[in-house]
Amino acid sequence: MILLQENKMTLNEFKNLKKFEDQRVRMTFADGAEIIATLLSITTDSDESRHLVYREVEQSTVPHVPHENLGGYYSPGEQLLSCKPEPAEKNR
């Protein structure tokens, strides 16, 4: 699990989330949003802006609208506080 201190994530911490791509994860954001979904990609730009793309949202505290060009849902990564693998439910 990667858990961030004081709502701040270093660029390296964010890049380390790549190991969770194509996995079911639980993401927690600074605004209180929590999402369980399959993480598709973690990217950063040259200006160090951060981006998350995910699909198969199973649980969320916020509404989601799919991004047509990405094949999933998009969130800016700057507000991400934690991201950890979420084990599959036993009854699935």
Summarised one tens digit per residue, pLDDT across range 20-52 is 999 999 999 988 899 999 999 999 999 989 999
Q: Domains in the chain, start-ordered, CATH in brackets?
A: 2-85 (2.30.30.100)
pLDDT at 5: 47
Q: Among 5-9, 17-21, 86-90, where is mean pLDDT lowest?
A: 5-9
Task: Fill in the amino acid letter for 78.
Answer: E
Tokens of 19: 């190991």
Angle, alpha carbons 62-63-65 (nearest 5°): 135
* Torsion sign over Cα 17, 19, 21, 23: negative
Query: Of 61 and 6, which is predicted with more confidence?
Result: 61
Residue 76 scores a pLDDT above 50: yes
| Average pLDDT taken over every residue of the chain | 85
Output the pTM of the full model: 0.81
Dist. CA 58–CA 45, nearest whole Å: 28
Does an H or E element contain 41, and which?
Answer: strand 34-44
